[in-house]
Amino acid sequence: IKKQQQDVLGFLEANKIEFEEKDIAANEENRKWMRENVPEDSRPASGNPLPPRLFNDSRYLGDYDAFFEARENNAVYAFLGLTAPPGSKVGEHLLTGAC
């Protein structure tokens, strides 16, 4: 989980995409928020959803696998719901990530 979190954060930082990281390990309110905002069809059959999970404001975008697939397909900005900067293969808007 830690490696996946670092991968997402590293990508966002390297591409100067604003984001807010929410620590669900140390903050019960963040953990509750994530559980409530991950759609039923994106939750595991048993247990709670594991991070990293990506959101644009409160709109759920997906988990690490969805992020990774978008990155591999040079479609991360579309995945994040952002406009790619001019000349970019892969805007500024505030993202919320539950990590």
pLDDT higher than 70, residue 91: no
The CATH number for 68's domain is 3.40.30.10
Owner of token pair 């790619």: 84
Q: Is the pTM of this model over 0.85?
A: no
In angstroms, rounded to a whole number, what is the distance separating the alpha carbons of residues 13 and 41? Answer: 29
Q: How far apart are CA 52 and CA 7, in angstroms?
A: 10
How many domains is the chain built from? 1
The whole domain housing 58 covers 1-80
Q: What is the pLDDT of residues 37-69, one digit of tens each?
A: 999 999 999 988 999 999 999 999 999 999 999
Does pLDDT of 92 surpass 90?
no
Q: Which amino acid is at 50?
A: L
Asked whether the predicted pLDDT for residue 85 surpasses 50, the reply is yes
